[in-house]
Amino acid sequence: MASALVLLLLFWLAKNAQVEGFAYFMNIALIGVTLGAVYALVALGYTLVYGILELINFAHGDVFMMGGMISATMIISVFNLGAHNSTFSVVAAVAVSLLVAMAGCGLLNATIERIAYRPLRHAPRLAPLITAIGMSFVLEDIAILWKHPSYVQTPSVLPHGNVFSISGVTYTWEKLIVVLITIPVLLALVWLVQRTRQGKAMRATAQDREAAAMMGINVNRTISFTFALAGALAGAGGLLYALYFNEIRYDTGYKLGLIAFTAAVLGGIGNLPGAVLGALVIGFIQAFNEGLTWHSPGSDWTESIVFSILILILVFRPSGLLGEQTPEGG
Amino acid sequence: MSGEPLLQTFALRKEFGGLVANNDVDFVVPEGGIVSLIGPNGAGKTTFFNMLTGVYKPTDGTIVFNGEDMTGKPPHAYTERGIGRTFQNIRLFQNMTALENVLVGMHTRLKSHLVGALLRTPHVRREEREARERARELLEFSGLRGKDSVVGRSLSYGDQRRLEVARALATRPKLLLLDEPTAGMNPQETAEFTAFVAKLRSQEHLSVLLIEHDMKVVMGVSDTITVLDYGEKIAEGTPAEIQKNERVIEAYLGSAAVSS
Amino acid sequence: MRRGRISERWWALLGRFGLTQQRWGSWPAWMRRLVKATTWLGLGLILTAAFGTWTTSALAVAAVVLLIVVPPWDRLPNIGPYRTGRWIPWLIALGFVVAYPYYVNGLPQLPVFGPFPNVHTMVVAGIFTMMALGLNFVVGYAGLLDLGYVAFYAMGAYVCGWFASEQFAGQHIDVGAVGLQQGWIGIHLSIWLVLPIAGLMTALIGVIIGLPTLRLRGDYLAIVTLGFGEIMPQVADNGNNLGGFNLTNGTGGITSIDGPGFGHGTVARALHLPASYLGAGNLDSLFFWTVIVLVLITIFCSARLRDSRLGRAWIAIREDETAAAAMGIPLMRTKTWSYATGAFFGGVAGAYYSSYNGGAFPDQFLFQISVFILCMVILGGMGSIPGVMLGAWFLAYLDQEGLSNVGGWINSHFNTNINVPNYEFGIYGLIIVVVMLLRPEGLIPSSRRAAELHEGVHDEPLYDVEELNAPLTEPTV
């Protein structure tokens, strides 16, 4: 059954590649990679938190949105960037914005955990999920209060020139930059989780909270750290979103958060490489659905398709593509 | 004393990941018998129990109850066919009253459903009245007279154990599975409980399968004893035979030496 | 613990004025009620005089409340098996609710909140009360978090649209419909028929959604229901061209849905029942009285089912799924029943709402509405019928009138310019967080649920206990 579906999907892709021509197909795929990179940053946050607390941090998408808002503020109000700026000042401004967005969202996420989830550590397990939903709405309204309900437009400061253009396949700089920012952030995450003391504490806490506490690990601090880390990733995602899509609104995070959560589930929730893989798959699916024309449902149905994937995965293969693990083990 | 086999397992096996919790266990509880399952901590007794009640699905092997193959059926099917159980770490419905706990146990023996419950037909009303009466009788039988409307969490430890048994009896079992029922009881409570188990067989004509650590209880009440160690059945026999069995002594001494 | 300390301090303070807890306890119950009610009402009257618009009718309202609350009704003799004392205060209260449209305009202005809600608001509040009570079957009784309840509301609304409007122009069917114009087209069933049909079809959807998903653990189930709740409006949005077939009329929605009515039959005329609600001058009042009946039916079903074998099974599952299964409760079937029951009332409420609105529009069915209804259940008290009703009524009132009134009051008193209704959902979010943190049992708790939320429950799902590595096994139906 599943393999039949995959075959059908492959046939649909191949047929589209034939109808549209290979170059067009590849261009769409490159959009998919870019989307996937943004989704990956957010999906990792879901997976990190789920791994350690078994909590779907529903407000995570909105933390991402706040990251976008912080970035927009930095780009517009603090640096006043526009097309006129020199390459160096853009790079410096983007780097500073990235750090500010990551720090701000890390702090925000850890604060949310402290206020809304920690007091419920021993309550029934649905209780923190419910407060997470509440926090999600609160964050959206803070964004409305701060930025009004309309879209915040950010200037397009990334260069749009071609990195390469080979027989119709063109890769533009702004797409490459999204990936170029994502990769070091991911590498830093891997290093942090696998090599540092704090990362080891996270892995131990995820495995068995009580045992970790008995071995002298400060569980509360480790959980705070995990939330801060997840928030920082979301902040980086928010910056990329603001730079790449150039507009962001209070409810951007809700929709994108659900898509990213789907990616985390698809990869196997709790599994870090899985989240990245899932995000890429979802990115491709979205790009192909919206870009290809031969019998594709089109952008009207993107969310339905993503949520159908979410439902099917949870019902038929809840461990995802790579298997459910303690997050940091993989 | 013991008649036809009521419950039988054939090469019952359970693995968790690579870990073998139960290794091809063949096992019989005869009708009207009291059988004990003993073994050192971690020998796989509770895993075995959980398979016999459908909570775990066996990796391999067969469970036959009352002549019917029950392998792979969901827990409520086991209860319906007549296997009642208690839990090692008491699992009452803590915020329901004693009476409600017992009424939940009667679930499979009652018939009222949505429409009947909405209209409260005479039939449903009578069924409900009779169920409550029987629940009170069961509470009394289990030594919980006058505690009908006390919620689970407010009962004393011993009473919670008794309520678990009453709740299991409410399912009208043919076979009652008791998982360490005397854990945490004082000697007097334990003695009362042993007498109670004997009474279950003589008055209610139940078969009983018991997991127990207290050897006094085990030796006093069982017809046969099965010993598990590291998931394997290492011995089976009457209390007298088991007391003399070398492998059993070794298993216990060995584990005692490690754990204490 | 914290609440205990507050009440201790409270009693210490009262004790200084000679009112110790023992003394209070020695008074007869009616006197305690009198003192309590007088205190609260007095406070209310003072506030009304200070911040509201004072009319003598405020005194009348206070007197009526005193008259319902204080007398020792429980001393009344029983009539047969029926305890009159329990029913009389509720019947009087119901009488006042039914008469609401007649005296609402004479009521005083409340402090901060302004005028009492108008009849239109009361109709909407009634509809949301039904939905909240429906969700209460799922969240409150069976302990399953449903984040896509709006899907059931949408389903009910569209069923009403299909069977009581001109949506299917190719058809020409009339079964007891009222108020049809000359040259009508489409399917027109009587709304009284449409309501149960919508309920049943929605319940069926509930079963279809539930069967594959209800074996999932709680948080996964919540997300899956959310997924369905998101897919539904997108289907409604894009459903004007499903392979060429126009099911939902797309973003425009289905409009000019029929209203209810009793027609011109002899029985209807003899009982002075209105022929068609939409043509009547007191349209809101008619819809209001009808929704009271619907809410009463919902309350009746909620109470009956809670106290039945099925209700006990729901509560047992909520408390400890593994033990419930071991006691012979079929988990899947029982959960599905709670889902179907909840869906039924969501569907009926949705259908009724769309008949009242005269339309069903896809932008009514957002995730926010699911959370709105969930917030009602949480605020009032999960599992508690009076609590959920209070939560639903209050939040629906805030949504319709309260927030803008309060916003107006804030802006005029503090010289600000905040558009308070803009922040509606953030306010609900805040309510959810605050209630979950400080009073998880809600305003009017059911005693059992309160203990669970404070002491915790055995809520690890059954199949988690077993399957450490293997994927989840086949459903247990």
Between residues C431 and B220, which one has the greater pLDDT? C431
Which tens digit of pLDDT belongs to each residue from C57-95? 888 888 888 888 888 887 777 777 777 777 888 899 999
- Chain C hits for B93, CB-CB cut-off 8 Å, are 315-316, 319-320, 323-324
Give the separation between CA B178 and CA B212, rounded to whole angstroms.
8
C-alpha distances (whole Å) from C217 to each of A263, A314, B141, C220 are 19, 10, 37, 6
CA–CA distance, A317 with A321 (Å, rounded to integer): 8
* Residue of chain A whose alpha carbon sits nearest to that of C475: A315
CA separation (Å) from C424 to A12, A115, C431?
44, 21, 11
Mean pLDDT of B127-151: 91
| Under 8 Å between Cβ of C144 and C214 | yes
Lowest mean pLDDT among B25-34, B216-225, B249-258, C257-266: B249-258
pTM of the model: 0.90
> What pLDDT score was predicted for residue C450?
65
Radius of gyration of chain C (CA): 24
pLDDT for C458 equals 65
Contacts of A140 in chain C (CB under 8 A): 425-426, 429
Greater model confidence, C241 or C398: C398
Q: In this predicted structure, what is the pLDDT of residue A179?
A: 92
pLDDT above 80 (res C4): no
Judging contact as 3 or more Cβ pairs under 8 Å, the answer for A and B is no
Instruction: Tell me the CATH number for domain B1-82+173-260.
Output: 3.40.50.300
The CA distance from C477 to C466, in Å, is 17
User: Would an 8 Å CB–CB cutoff place B74 in contact with chain C?
Assistant: yes
pLDDT of residue C464: 40
Q: Which helix (H) or strand (E) is B178 found in, with range?
A: strand B175-179
Predicted pLDDT at C58: 85
* B100 part of contact set with chain C, CB < 8 Å: yes
Higher pLDDT among residues C150 and B113, named by residue = C150
Residues of B in contact with C313 (CB under 8 A): 104, 107
pLDDT digits (tens, 9 = 90+) for A91-133: 899 999 999 999 999 999 999 999 999 999 888 888 999 999 9
> What percent of chain C lies above the pLDDT cut of 70?
92
Residue C218 has pLDDT above 60, yes or no: yes
C contacts of B104 (beta carbons < 8 Å): 312-313, 316, 324, 327, 329
Torsion of CA A226, A232, A238, A240, to 10 degrees: -120
- Indicate if the pLDDT at residue C157 is higher than 90: yes
- pLDDT given for residue C469 in this prediction: 32
Residue C476 — pLDDT band, cuts 50, 70, 90? very low
pLDDT for C462 equals 56
Q: What is the domain partition of chain B in residue ranges?
A: 1-82+173-260, 93-172
Q: What is the pLDDT of residue C461?
A: 56
For C363, half-sphere exposure in the C-beta direction (CA atoms, 13 angstrom radius) is 2
Return the CATH number of A2-316, one of 1.10.287, 1.10.3470, 2.60.40, 3.40.50: 1.10.3470
pLDDT digits (tens, 9 = 90+) for A65-89: 999 999 999 999 888 877 677 888 8
A9 pLDDT higher than 50: yes
Instruction: Return the partners of chain A (3 or more C-beta pairs < 8 Å).
Output: C
pLDDT of residue C451: 67
Q: Say what percent of chain B tops pLDDT 90.
A: 40
What is the arithmetic mean of pLDDT over C392-409? 94
In terms of DSSP bridges, do strands B68-69 and C254-255 run parallel, antiparallel, or are they unpaired? unpaired
pLDDT the model gives residue C456? 66
Pairwise CB contact (< 8 Å): B74 & C325: yes
Burial readout C62-82 (b: 16 or more C-beta within 10 A, e: otherwise): beebeebbbbebeeeeeeeee
Asked if the model's pLDDT at residue C457 lies above 90, the reply is no
pLDDT at C26 over 50: yes
Closest CA to A256 of A297, A25, A247: A247
3-state SS track over chain C: CHHHHHHHHHHHHHHHCCCCHHHHHHCCHHHHHHHHHHHHHHHHHHHHHHHCECCCHHHHHHHHHHHHHCCCHHHCCCECCECHHHHHHHHHHHHHHHCHHHHHHHCCEECCCECCCCHHHHHHHHHHHHHHHHHHHHHHHCCCCCCCCHHHHHHHHHHHHHHEECCCCCCEEEEECCCCCCCCCEEEECHHHHHHHHHHHHHHHHHHHHHHHCCCCHHHHHHHHHHHHHHHHHHHHHCCCECCECCCCHHHCEECCCCCCCCCCHHHHHCCCCCCCCCCCCHHHHHHHHHHHHHHHHHHHHHHHHCCHHHHHHHHHHHEHHHHHHCCCCHHHHHHHHHHHHHHHHHHHHHHHHHHHCEECHHHCCHHHHHHHHHHHHHHCCCCHHHHHHHHHHHHHHHHHHHHHHHHHHHHHHCCCCCHHHHHHHHHHHHHHHHHHHCCCCCCCCHHHHHHHHHCCECCCHHHHHCCCCCCCCCCC
Q: Print burial letters for A244-280: b (CB count within 10 Å at least 16), e (below 16).
A: bbbebbbbbbbbbbbbbbbbbbbbbbbbbbbbbbbbb
8 Å CB contact between A283 and A35? yes
Q: Quick one: pLDDT at residue A72? A: 94
Structure token digits, residue C210? 């539930």
Q: pLDDT-derived band of residue C430, with 50, 70 and 90 as boundaries? A: very high
Residue B258, pLDDT score = 42
The whole-angstrom distance between A169's CA and the closest CA on chain C is: 33
Provide mean pLDDT across the span B125-154. Answer: 91
Residue B226's H or E segment, with its range, is strand B224-229
Q: What are the structural domain ranges in chain C?
A: 22-106, 119-366
Q: Do A116 and C472 touch (CB under 8 A)?
A: no
Higher pLDDT, A160 or C469: A160
The full set of domain ranges for chain A reads 2-316
Are the C-beta atoms of residues C84 and C76 closer than 8 Å to each other?
A: yes
- Maximum average pLDDT range among A100-109, B67-76, C109-118: A100-109
With 60 as the cut, is the pLDDT of residue C475 above it?
A: no
* Cα dihedral C63→C69→C75→C76 (10° resolution): 70
Tally the C-alpha atoms within 13 A of residue B166's C-alpha that lie toward its C-beta. Answer: 31
Q: Note the pLDDT tens digit of each residue in A201-229.
A: 998 998 888 889 988 899 999 999 999 99
Q: How much is the pLDDT for C1?
A: 40
Question: Looking at the predicted structure, is the pLDDT value of residue A158 above 90?
Answer: no
Residue C206 has pLDDT above 90, yes or no: yes
8 A C-beta contact, residue A293 and residue C221: no
Q: What is the mean pLDDT of chain A?
A: 89
Element (H, E) at B9: strand B5-16
Q: Is the pLDDT of residue B108 over 60?
A: yes
The answer, for A208 touching chain C at a CB cutoff of 8 Å, is: no
At B260, is the pLDDT very low, low, confident or very high (cuts 50, 70, 90)?
Answer: very low
Residue C289 pLDDT grade (very low, low, confident, very high; cuts 50, 70, 90) = very high
